[in-house]
């Protein structure tokens, strides 16, 4: 194997980089044995929960990077949909990896993650998706430092574009996940609006005691379980932090139709939870992103990207509005528009 071989499609990580992480963690452990551990945050225990479906090479990279962290997780609980698509080689990487298999019709965005969390007795729950790859060996350590703040109940990581990401998607990552960290509270609703509630379970950590007190993520959830949960946190006086120094590679080049379907489910999730989203507009944030993105591509002299922006934004908006008004649609239409057919079929 060449030492510059890359793991996973578009992850930007090489064998050398993972080996470097492992060397750092060895030195880190030795230093703690000599000098002791005076930082209370490093004493916090962490378990990782990852739902998977047809995991592949990229997921193996995610596991290897998690096992190479300066702050080691106690367990990695994998909630895998359909055992036929699971590779036993994943578990052989480390005994910390514990898999639970479920059927496709049993999967639920909120319920499956909460079931994984119920297996943990750690202080902190770190939820990730199978296609989120830690950008370095300090992801968990960087997330934990925000829990020094007593009121912080959730922290989410910065998402960096993968290799091969389209220019439009890469800039969207930058808009939604800027270089500056931020602590969000109820006081920010006046200025940030719905973005105050924003959090992403692509990579997000939560205090387990608070998570259990609140009965975990809402279930059943079609989508958006992270934002629904964090909206409740904000309303009850907790802090939700964005940790820009905790980084994962994660991006998708969705087609316009895929964007429509994802945003349909987003709209449904908001319509189903007026206790969180009533009176808070999402459209203003969307308009702001479109304007900012268009100005960026004019500035960098790539105006042709604006056509893709207009098309993508139109499909997103259409999907979102249809989702917000899903009760006016026929069941046949809903099943054509949704990404989550099983969510609707469970109701039959």
**Beta 97-102 vs 46-53: how paired, if at all?**
unpaired
pLDDT of 15 higher than 70: no
Mean pLDDT within 134-160: 97
Mean pLDDT within 219-231: 97
**186, 280 Cβ separation under 8 angstroms:** no
* Percent of the chain whose pLDDT exceeds 70: 87
Q: What integer pLDDT is reported at residue 31 of this predicted model?
A: 47
Backbone angles phi, psi at 215, to 5 degrees: 65, 30
Supply the mean pLDDT for the chain. Answer: 91
> 182 or 286: whose pLDDT is higher?
182
Contacts (Cβ under 8 Å, ≥6 apart) of 49: 77, 79, 113, 116, 117, 120, 125, 126, 127, 128
- Each residue of 40-90: pLDDT tens digit? 666 999 999 999 999 999 999 999 999 999 999 999 999 999 999 999 999
Q: Taking CA 92 as the corner, what is the angle to CA 90 and CA 94, rounded to the nearest 5 degrees?
A: 95
- 282 falls in which pLDDT band (50, 70, 90)? confident
**22, 93 Cβ separation under 8 angstroms:** no
- 347 falls in which pLDDT band (50, 70, 90)? low
Residue spans of beta strands (DSSP E) within 208-264? 239-249
Which 8-state DSSP code applies to residue 199? Answer: -
Q: What integer pLDDT is reported at residue 8 of this predicted model?
A: 55
The Cβ of residue 205 has, within 10 Å, a number of other Cβ atoms equal to: 29
Q: What integer pLDDT is reported at residue 17 of this predicted model?
A: 63
Mean pLDDT within 15-43: 55
- Each residue of 263-276: pLDDT tens digit? 999 999 999 999 99
pLDDT of 24 higher than 80: no
Mean pLDDT within 96-102: 98
pLDDT of 30 higher than 50: no
**CATH number assigned to the domain covering 15-249:** 3.90.550.10
Q: What integer pLDDT is reported at residue 219 of this predicted model?
A: 96
**214, 229 Cβ separation under 8 angstroms:** yes
Mean pLDDT within 168-197: 95
Mean pLDDT within 182-192: 95
**Beta 239-249 vs 152-160: how paired, if at all?**
parallel
Q: What integer pLDDT is reported at residue 35 of this predicted model?
A: 39
Q: What integer pLDDT is reported at residue 34 of this predicted model?
A: 34
Token pair for 192: 């940030």
pTM, two decimals, is: 0.89
CA distances from 20 to 27, 70, 138 (A): 11, 11, 12
Mean pLDDT within 290-296: 95
Q: What integer pLDDT is reported at residue 37 of this predicted model?
A: 44
């Amino acid at each position: 194997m060449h030492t510059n071989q890359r793991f996973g499609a578009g992850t930007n990580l090489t064998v050398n980089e993972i080996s470097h992480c492992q060397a750092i963690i060895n030195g880190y452990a030795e230093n703690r044995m000599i000098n002791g551990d005076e930082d209370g945050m490093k004493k916090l225990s962490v378990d990782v929960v990852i739902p998977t479906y047809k995991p592949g090479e990229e997921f193996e990279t995610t596991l290897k990077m998690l096992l190479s962290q300066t702050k080691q997780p106690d367990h990695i609980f994998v909630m895998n949909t359909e055992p036929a698509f699971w590779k036993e080689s994943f578990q052989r990487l480390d005994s910390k990896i514990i898999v639970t298999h479920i059927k496709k019709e049993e999967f639920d965005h909120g319920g499956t993650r909460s079931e994984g969390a119920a297996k943990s007795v750690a202080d902190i729950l770190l939820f990730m998706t199978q296609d989120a790859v830690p950008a370095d060996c300090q992801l968990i350590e960087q997330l934990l430092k925000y829990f020094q703040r007593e009121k912080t109940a959730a922290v989410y990581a910065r998402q960096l574009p993968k290799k091969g990401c389209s220019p439009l998607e890469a800039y969207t990552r930058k808009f939604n996940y800027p270089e500056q960290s931020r602590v969000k509270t109820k006081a920010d609703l006046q200025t940030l609006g719905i973005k105050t509630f924003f959090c992403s379970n692509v990579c997000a950590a939560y205090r387990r005691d608070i998570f259990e007190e609140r009965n975990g993520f809402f279930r059943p959830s079609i989508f958006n379980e992270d934002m629904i949960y964090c909206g409740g946190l904000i309303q009850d006086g907790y802090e939700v932090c964005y940790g820009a120094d905790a980084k994962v590679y994660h991006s998708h080049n969705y087609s316009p139709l895929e964007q429509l379907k994802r945003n349909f489910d987003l709209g449904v999730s908001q319509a189903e939870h007026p206790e969180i989203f009533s009176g808070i507009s999402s459209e203003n944030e969307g308009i702001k992103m479109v304007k900012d993105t268009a100005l960026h591509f004019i500035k960098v002299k790539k105006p042709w990207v604006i056509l893709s922006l207009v098309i993508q934004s139109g499909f997103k908006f259409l999907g979102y509005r249809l989702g917000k008004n899903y009760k006016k649609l026929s069941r046949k239409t809903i099943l054509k528009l949704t990404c989550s057919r099983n969510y609707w079929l469970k109701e039959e």
